[in-house]
Amino acid sequence: MRVPPFRILVVDDLTDNLFLLQTILEAEGYNVDTADSGSSALVKVENSPPDLILMDVMMPDMSGYEVTQQIRQNRNLPFMPILLVTAYDETDAIQGLAMGANDFIRKPIEFDKLLSRIEAFLSFQ
């Protein structure tokens, strides 16, 4: 399915991960912005809210859980789906959902599953 120019914010502290995800998502027709930390992601979300956020859980300055919680607590922001990316177990998924994440993607990322989940969330916008 080809998509309207939806904006996705990819958040990861590893440059290689940002580049890979940006390349794949842009090849699918998405407009992609990146942030290399939780704090820079919060600034980007407040300045120009994306249609969807794809965010790593483990980052040095703020975890993906903390960023998710701050986004959800900000009543001035519109709703945007947040997909957290983790290499960890089901306990982490439960914690992330409790903080306001909409879904989890497990590492290593299966790109067909990732794209299907993104399409599903954005089809309601």
Phi, psi of 78 (to 5 degrees): -70, 165
Global pTM reads: 0.93
Q: What is the pLDDT of residue 89?
A: 65
Longest CA span, the chain: 36
For the domain spanning 7-120, the CATH number is: 3.40.50.2300
pLDDT of residue 2: 47
Which pLDDT score is estimated for 86? Answer: 86
Place of tokens 């309207």: 4
Amino acid 90: pLDDT: 61
The rounded average pLDDT for each run of 10 residues, N- to C-terminus, in the chain (125 residues) is 79 96 96 97 97 95 95 95 84 78 91 95 84
Boundaries of every domain in the chain: 7-120
Provide the pLDDT for residue 92. 67
Smallest CA-to-CA distance from 103 within 75, 123, 80 is with 80
